Amino acid sequence: MTHKEQAKKEVEELRDWIQDKDVNQLSFKTQQNMPRLRSFKNNEVSDPAYSFIRSLQLHRKQKDD
């Protein structure tokens, strides 16, 4: 799997994970704005910023630990 394919897979996994989350709480905990989170959740963003994805990954990891 190429790096680009792996990155796309990780973004899709995050998008699946965020579907049942409260956007207001997630916005507060990740310090990301709600419109950006909603757009990502609704698959309106095709290439999200690294910092955005990283903040979600770190929050998800904390929740999983």
User: Which pLDDT belongs to residue 65?
Assistant: 62
At residue 64, the pLDDT reads 72
Give the pLDDT means over successive 10-residue stretches in the chain (65 positions). Answer: 91 95 94 94 90 94 79
Q: Are 26 and 18 in contact (CB under 8 A)?
A: yes
pLDDT at 2: 93
Q: How much is the pLDDT for 22?
A: 93
Q: How far does Cα 29 stand from its chain's mean position?
A: 12
Cβ-based burial of 22 (10 A; exposed 0-12, middle 13-18, buried ≥19): exposed
